[in-house]
Protein backbone atom coordinates (compact mmCIF):
# COMPACT_ATOMS: atom_id res chain seq x y z
CA UNK A 1 0.00 0.00 0.00
CA UNK A 2 2.75 2.48 0.92
CA UNK A 3 4.78 2.53 -2.30
CA UNK A 4 5.79 5.87 -3.74
CA UNK A 5 4.96 4.69 -7.26
CA UNK A 6 2.68 7.26 -8.90
CA UNK A 7 -0.85 5.93 -9.37
CA UNK A 8 -1.88 8.94 -11.42
CA UNK A 9 -0.36 12.27 -12.50
CA UNK A 10 0.50 14.36 -9.51
CA UNK A 11 0.09 12.09 -6.49
CA UNK A 12 1.32 8.74 -5.27
CA UNK A 13 -0.36 5.77 -3.64
CA UNK A 14 1.28 6.96 -0.41
CA UNK A 15 -0.34 10.39 -0.76
CA UNK A 16 -3.70 8.67 -1.21
CA UNK A 17 -3.16 6.43 1.84
CA UNK A 18 -2.21 9.39 4.00
CA UNK A 19 -5.28 11.33 2.88
CA UNK A 20 -7.50 8.34 3.68
CA UNK A 21 -5.92 8.02 7.14
CA UNK A 22 -6.49 11.72 7.77
CA UNK A 23 -10.15 11.50 6.71
CA UNK A 24 -10.80 8.22 8.53
CA UNK A 25 -9.53 9.68 11.82
CA UNK A 26 -11.36 13.02 11.53
CA UNK A 27 -14.14 13.83 14.00
CA UNK A 28 -14.89 17.31 12.71
CA UNK A 29 -14.25 18.42 9.14
CA UNK A 30 -14.79 21.65 7.20
CA UNK A 31 -15.01 21.08 3.42
CA UNK A 32 -14.74 24.16 1.19
CA UNK A 33 -15.33 24.55 -2.53
CA UNK A 34 -14.28 27.58 -4.57
CA UNK A 35 -16.20 30.85 -4.62
CA UNK A 36 -19.17 30.98 -7.00
CA UNK A 37 -19.21 27.17 -6.81
CA UNK A 38 -19.92 25.07 -9.87
CA UNK A 39 -21.32 21.53 -9.78
CA UNK A 40 -17.80 20.04 -9.52
CA UNK A 41 -16.85 22.16 -6.50
CA UNK A 42 -20.12 21.77 -4.60
CA UNK A 43 -20.63 18.14 -5.73
CA UNK A 44 -17.12 17.22 -4.51
CA UNK A 45 -17.76 18.85 -1.14
CA UNK A 46 -21.17 17.20 -0.67
CA UNK A 47 -20.00 13.75 -1.81
CA UNK A 48 -17.02 13.77 0.54
CA UNK A 49 -19.14 15.29 3.32
CA UNK A 50 -21.78 12.54 3.01
CA UNK A 51 -19.10 9.82 3.17
CA UNK A 52 -17.56 11.36 6.30
CA UNK A 53 -20.95 11.93 7.94
CA UNK A 54 -21.75 8.24 7.42
CA UNK A 55 -18.60 7.49 9.45
CA UNK A 56 -19.89 9.64 12.30
CA UNK A 57 -17.84 12.81 11.69
CA UNK A 58 -19.35 16.27 12.17
CA UNK A 59 -19.13 17.88 8.73
CA UNK A 60 -19.82 21.35 7.38
CA UNK A 61 -19.67 22.24 3.69
CA UNK A 62 -19.28 25.82 2.49
CA UNK A 63 -17.61 28.25 0.04
CA UNK A 64 -16.35 31.81 0.42
CA UNK A 65 -19.06 33.49 -1.68
CA UNK A 66 -21.95 33.99 -2.13
CA UNK A 67 -23.60 33.50 1.28
CA UNK A 68 -26.58 31.72 -0.29
CA UNK A 69 -26.50 28.40 -2.08
CA UNK A 70 -26.96 29.06 -5.84
CA UNK A 71 -30.40 27.78 -6.91
CA UNK A 72 -28.99 25.50 -9.61
CA UNK A 73 -26.98 23.56 -6.99
CA UNK A 74 -29.97 22.84 -4.73
CA UNK A 75 -30.32 19.46 -6.50
CA UNK A 76 -27.00 18.41 -4.90
CA UNK A 77 -27.65 19.75 -1.41
CA UNK A 78 -28.05 16.56 0.63
CA UNK A 79 -27.35 15.61 4.21
CA UNK A 80 -27.92 19.05 5.79
CA UNK A 81 -24.20 19.79 5.42
CA UNK A 82 -24.22 23.27 3.84
CA UNK A 83 -23.59 26.32 6.03
CA UNK A 84 -23.00 29.89 4.78
CA UNK A 85 -19.44 31.24 4.85
CA UNK A 86 -20.28 33.50 7.81
CA UNK A 87 -20.98 30.37 9.92
CA UNK A 88 -17.62 28.67 9.19
CA UNK A 89 -15.24 28.77 12.21
CA UNK A 90 -11.79 30.32 11.68
CA UNK A 91 -9.95 27.06 12.32
CA UNK A 92 -10.71 23.37 11.91
CA UNK A 93 -8.80 20.27 13.03
CA UNK A 94 -9.20 19.12 9.41
CA UNK A 95 -9.86 21.54 6.55
CA UNK A 96 -10.46 20.06 3.09
CA UNK A 97 -10.55 22.23 -0.04
CA UNK A 98 -12.02 20.82 -3.25
CA UNK A 99 -11.61 22.13 -6.83
CA UNK A 100 -9.61 25.16 -5.53
CA UNK A 101 -6.33 25.93 -7.28
CA UNK A 102 -5.14 28.36 -4.59
CA UNK A 103 -6.34 29.97 -1.33
CA UNK A 104 -7.58 33.08 -3.21
CA UNK A 105 -10.34 30.86 -4.62
CA UNK A 106 -11.73 30.67 -1.07
CA UNK A 107 -12.58 34.41 -1.21
CA UNK A 108 -13.57 35.54 2.30
CA UNK A 109 -12.31 32.22 3.74
CA UNK A 110 -8.87 32.52 2.07
CA UNK A 111 -7.08 32.76 5.43
CA UNK A 112 -8.47 29.43 6.71
CA UNK A 113 -5.67 27.18 5.37
CA UNK A 114 -3.07 29.35 7.13
CA UNK A 115 -5.03 29.74 10.38
CA UNK A 116 -5.84 26.02 10.47
CA UNK A 117 -2.14 25.08 10.19
CA UNK A 118 -1.21 27.75 12.75
CA UNK A 119 -3.69 26.16 15.18
CA UNK A 120 -2.13 22.70 14.67
CA UNK A 121 -4.72 21.40 12.18
CA UNK A 122 -4.27 19.72 8.80
CA UNK A 123 -5.25 20.95 5.34
CA UNK A 124 -6.09 18.46 2.59
CA UNK A 125 -6.18 19.91 -0.94
CA UNK A 126 -8.13 17.84 -3.51
CA UNK A 127 -8.05 19.26 -7.04
CA UNK A 128 -7.48 18.71 -10.76
CA UNK A 129 -6.42 22.21 -11.88
CA UNK A 130 -3.13 22.56 -13.74
CA UNK A 131 -2.51 25.81 -11.85
CA UNK A 132 -2.89 24.27 -8.35
CA UNK A 133 -0.29 25.71 -5.95
CA UNK A 134 -0.37 22.68 -3.56
CA UNK A 135 -1.11 24.83 -0.53
CA UNK A 136 -2.17 22.00 1.79
CA UNK A 137 -0.29 19.99 4.38
CA UNK A 138 -1.55 17.11 2.20
CA UNK A 139 -2.26 17.48 -1.53
CA UNK A 140 -4.15 15.18 -3.88
CA UNK A 141 -3.80 16.97 -7.21
CA UNK A 142 -4.42 14.95 -10.38
CA UNK A 143 -4.50 17.14 -13.47
CA UNK A 144 -5.54 14.12 -15.56
CA UNK A 145 -8.76 13.60 -13.56
CA UNK A 146 -11.89 14.55 -15.48
CA UNK A 147 -13.33 16.28 -12.42
CA UNK A 148 -12.49 16.78 -8.77
CA UNK A 149 -15.47 14.53 -7.98
CA UNK A 150 -13.58 11.64 -9.64
CA UNK A 151 -10.69 12.07 -7.17
CA UNK A 152 -13.23 12.30 -4.35
CA UNK A 153 -14.81 9.03 -5.55
CA UNK A 154 -11.40 7.30 -5.26
CA UNK A 155 -11.21 8.52 -1.64
CA UNK A 156 -14.77 7.42 -0.93
CA UNK A 157 -13.96 3.93 -2.28
CA UNK A 158 -10.77 3.78 -0.20
CA UNK A 159 -12.77 4.78 2.90
CA UNK A 160 -15.25 1.97 2.20
CA UNK A 161 -18.18 4.40 2.22
CA UNK A 162 -21.55 3.39 0.72
CA UNK A 163 -22.26 4.78 -2.76
CA UNK A 164 -25.75 6.06 -1.93
CA UNK A 165 -27.82 7.82 -4.59
CA UNK A 166 -27.33 11.37 -3.18
CA UNK A 167 -23.58 10.79 -2.98
CA UNK A 168 -23.48 9.33 -6.51
CA UNK A 169 -25.57 12.27 -7.78
CA UNK A 170 -23.02 14.74 -6.38
CA UNK A 171 -20.13 12.87 -8.05
CA UNK A 172 -22.08 12.63 -11.32
CA UNK A 173 -22.72 16.40 -11.30
CA UNK A 174 -19.00 17.23 -11.41
CA UNK A 175 -18.31 14.55 -14.01
CA UNK A 176 -21.14 15.75 -16.26
CA UNK A 177 -20.25 19.43 -16.22
CA UNK A 178 -16.43 19.23 -16.16
CA UNK A 179 -16.37 16.89 -19.20
CA UNK A 180 -18.66 19.20 -21.21
CA UNK A 181 -21.51 16.69 -20.93
CA UNK A 182 -19.14 13.76 -21.64
CA UNK A 183 -17.59 15.31 -24.75
CA UNK A 184 -14.16 15.18 -23.08
CA UNK A 185 -14.52 11.59 -21.92
CA UNK A 186 -12.32 8.50 -21.94
CA UNK A 187 -13.67 4.94 -21.88
CA UNK A 188 -13.03 4.92 -18.11
CA UNK A 189 -15.11 8.12 -17.74
CA UNK A 190 -18.17 6.22 -18.93
CA UNK A 191 -17.31 3.31 -16.64
CA UNK A 192 -17.44 5.73 -13.70
CA UNK A 193 -20.72 7.17 -15.00
CA UNK A 194 -22.14 3.64 -15.33
CA UNK A 195 -21.41 2.99 -11.65
CA UNK A 196 -23.14 6.23 -10.67
CA UNK A 197 -26.26 5.48 -12.74
CA UNK A 198 -26.35 1.96 -11.27
CA UNK A 199 -26.39 3.64 -7.83
CA UNK A 200 -29.67 5.30 -8.83
CA UNK A 201 -28.73 8.69 -10.36
CA UNK A 202 -31.38 10.07 -12.76
CA UNK A 203 -29.25 11.62 -15.54
CA UNK A 204 -32.12 13.50 -17.16
CA UNK A 205 -33.45 15.15 -13.99
CA UNK A 206 -29.95 15.89 -12.67
CA UNK A 207 -28.71 17.37 -15.95
CA UNK A 208 -31.79 19.50 -16.39
CA UNK A 209 -31.63 20.88 -12.84
CA UNK A 210 -27.93 21.70 -13.13
CA UNK A 211 -27.67 23.25 -16.58
CA UNK A 212 -31.04 23.67 -18.34
CA UNK A 213 -33.12 25.54 -15.77
CA UNK A 214 -32.98 29.35 -15.52
CA UNK A 215 -35.25 32.26 -14.55
CA UNK A 216 -37.21 33.89 -17.39
CA UNK A 217 -35.31 37.17 -16.84
CA UNK A 218 -32.18 35.46 -18.15
CA UNK A 219 -33.55 35.73 -21.69
CA UNK A 220 -33.46 39.55 -21.57
CA UNK A 221 -29.95 39.47 -20.05
CA UNK A 222 -28.77 37.20 -22.89
CA UNK A 223 -30.32 39.51 -25.44
CA UNK A 224 -28.17 42.47 -24.33
CA UNK A 225 -25.02 40.49 -23.63
CA UNK A 226 -25.04 38.51 -26.88
CA UNK A 227 -26.03 41.65 -28.80
CA UNK A 228 -22.65 43.22 -27.99
CA UNK A 229 -20.53 40.14 -28.76
CA UNK A 230 -17.58 40.93 -31.03
CA UNK A 231 -15.65 38.64 -33.37
CA UNK A 232 -11.97 39.48 -33.91
CA UNK A 233 -10.54 37.08 -36.53
CA UNK A 234 -6.96 38.39 -36.20
CA UNK A 235 -6.81 38.02 -32.42
CA UNK A 236 -5.55 34.96 -30.50
CA UNK A 237 -2.59 34.52 -32.88
CA UNK A 238 -4.87 34.74 -35.90
CA UNK A 239 -7.07 31.89 -34.68
CA UNK A 240 -9.93 34.20 -33.79
CA UNK A 241 -11.43 35.59 -30.59
CA UNK A 242 -15.10 36.08 -29.79
CA UNK A 243 -15.87 38.07 -26.66
CA UNK A 244 -18.53 39.96 -24.78
CA UNK A 245 -19.15 41.40 -21.32
CA UNK A 246 -21.79 40.87 -18.66
CA UNK A 247 -22.20 44.21 -16.91
CA UNK A 248 -23.82 44.88 -13.54
CA UNK A 249 -26.84 46.44 -15.27
CA UNK A 250 -27.42 43.22 -17.23
CA UNK A 251 -27.82 41.22 -14.03
CA UNK A 252 -30.39 43.40 -12.25
CA UNK A 253 -33.05 41.06 -10.87
CA UNK A 254 -30.95 37.96 -11.57
CA UNK A 255 -28.60 35.91 -9.37
CA UNK A 256 -24.95 36.47 -10.33
CA UNK A 257 -24.61 32.76 -11.21
CA UNK A 258 -26.70 33.42 -14.34
CA UNK A 259 -23.62 35.09 -15.86
CA UNK A 260 -21.78 31.76 -15.75
CA UNK A 261 -23.71 30.12 -18.60
CA UNK A 262 -22.96 32.94 -21.10
CA UNK A 263 -19.53 31.53 -22.02
CA UNK A 264 -21.11 28.28 -23.25
CA UNK A 265 -23.20 30.21 -25.77
CA UNK A 266 -20.40 32.56 -26.86
CA UNK A 267 -17.94 29.70 -27.39
CA UNK A 268 -20.21 28.08 -29.99
CA UNK A 269 -19.00 30.60 -32.64
CA UNK A 270 -17.30 28.56 -35.36
CA UNK A 271 -14.96 31.37 -36.48
CA UNK A 272 -13.12 31.70 -33.15
CA UNK A 273 -10.59 29.44 -31.42
CA UNK A 274 -10.97 31.43 -28.18
CA UNK A 275 -14.09 32.70 -26.42
CA UNK A 276 -13.98 35.20 -23.58
CA UNK A 277 -16.64 36.63 -21.29
CA UNK A 278 -15.75 39.51 -18.99
CA UNK A 279 -18.14 39.63 -16.03
CA UNK A 280 -18.31 42.87 -14.07
CA UNK A 281 -17.78 42.29 -10.34
CA UNK A 282 -17.51 45.99 -9.36
CA UNK A 283 -17.16 49.39 -11.06
CA UNK A 284 -13.61 48.55 -12.26
CA UNK A 285 -13.38 44.89 -11.39
CA UNK A 286 -13.81 42.02 -13.87
CA UNK A 287 -13.84 38.25 -13.75
CA UNK A 288 -12.88 36.66 -17.07
CA UNK A 289 -13.83 33.22 -18.39
CA UNK A 290 -11.73 31.87 -21.26
CA UNK A 291 -12.37 28.82 -23.42
CA UNK A 292 -10.34 27.41 -26.32
CA UNK A 293 -11.42 24.83 -28.86
CA UNK A 294 -8.08 22.98 -28.63
CA UNK A 295 -5.22 24.87 -30.27
CA UNK A 296 -4.33 27.68 -27.84
CA UNK A 297 -3.36 27.38 -24.16
CA UNK A 298 -5.72 29.76 -22.33
CA UNK A 299 -4.38 28.69 -18.91
CA UNK A 300 -1.25 30.58 -19.91
CA UNK A 301 -3.27 33.66 -20.94
CA UNK A 302 -5.19 33.59 -17.64
CA UNK A 303 -1.94 33.34 -15.69
CA UNK A 304 -0.92 36.73 -17.16
CA UNK A 305 -3.73 38.10 -14.95
CA UNK A 306 -2.76 35.96 -11.94
CA UNK A 307 -5.50 33.42 -12.75
CA UNK A 308 -5.43 29.94 -14.23
CA UNK A 309 -7.35 26.72 -14.68
CA UNK A 310 -6.98 24.17 -17.44
CA UNK A 311 -5.37 24.41 -20.90
CA UNK A 312 -8.70 24.93 -22.68
CA UNK A 313 -10.78 26.46 -19.85
CA UNK A 314 -9.41 29.08 -17.49
CA UNK A 315 -10.36 32.21 -15.59
CA UNK A 316 -9.05 35.27 -13.80
CA UNK A 317 -10.10 38.34 -11.82
CA UNK A 318 -8.58 41.75 -12.51
CA UNK A 319 -9.02 45.51 -12.10
CA UNK A 320 -9.40 48.18 -14.78
CA UNK A 321 -11.87 49.67 -17.22
CA UNK A 322 -13.50 47.28 -19.67
CA UNK A 323 -11.40 48.67 -22.54
CA UNK A 324 -8.17 48.25 -20.55
CA UNK A 325 -9.01 44.66 -19.60
CA UNK A 326 -9.92 43.84 -23.22
CA UNK A 327 -6.58 45.26 -24.43
CA UNK A 328 -4.63 43.25 -21.86
CA UNK A 329 -6.60 40.15 -22.82
CA UNK A 330 -5.71 40.59 -26.52
CA UNK A 331 -2.05 40.92 -25.54
CA UNK A 332 -2.16 37.85 -23.29
CA UNK A 333 -3.80 35.77 -26.04
CA UNK A 334 -1.27 37.00 -28.63
CA UNK A 335 1.48 35.65 -26.34
CA UNK A 336 -0.23 32.39 -25.36
CA UNK A 337 1.47 29.21 -26.60
CA UNK A 338 -0.04 26.99 -29.25
CA UNK A 339 -0.80 23.47 -28.08
Binding site for Mn ion (CB under 5 A): 40, 99, 148, 178
CA distance 150 to 142: 10
> Virtual CA dihedral for 201, 186, 38, 170, nearest 10 degrees?
20
The CB-of-73 to Mn ion minimum distance in angstroms stands at 14
Cα 322 off chain centre by: 25
Nearest Cα residue to 307 out of 283, 291, 292, 287: 287
Please identify, using beta-carbon distances, which residue of 267 and 310 lies nearer to Mn ion: 310
Could you tell me the smallest distance in angstroms from the CB atom of residue 59 to Mn ion?
A: 20
Neighbours of 254 (CB within 10 A): 17
131 or 148: whose CB is closer to Mn ion?
148
Rounded to the nearest whole angstrom, what is the least distance from the CB of residue 86 to Mn ion in the complex?
25
Nearer to Mn ion, 142 or 178 (CB): 178
Give the residue with the Cβ less far from Mn ion, 36 or 148: 148
Spatial contact of 42 and 76, defined as CB atoms under 8 Å apart:
yes
Nearer to Mn ion, 37 or 288 (CB): 37
CB of 40 to Mn ion, least distance (A): 3
Distances (CA, A) of 223 to 34, 155, 214, 271: 29, 44, 14, 21
Between strands 313-319 and 28-33, the pairing is unpaired
Other Cβ atoms closer than 10 A to 8: 18
Minimal distance in Å, beta carbon 34 to Mn ion? Answer: 9
Amino acid sequence: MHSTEPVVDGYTQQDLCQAVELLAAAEEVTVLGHLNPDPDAFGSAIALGLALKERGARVRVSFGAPEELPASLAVLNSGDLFVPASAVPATASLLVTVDCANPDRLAGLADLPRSTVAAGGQVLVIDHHLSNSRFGTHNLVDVAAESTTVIVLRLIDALGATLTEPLARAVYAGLLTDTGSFRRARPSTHEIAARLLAAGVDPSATGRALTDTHPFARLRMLSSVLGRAVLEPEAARGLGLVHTSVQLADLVGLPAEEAESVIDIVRSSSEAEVAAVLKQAGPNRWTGSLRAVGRLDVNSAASAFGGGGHRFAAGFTTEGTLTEVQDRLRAALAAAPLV
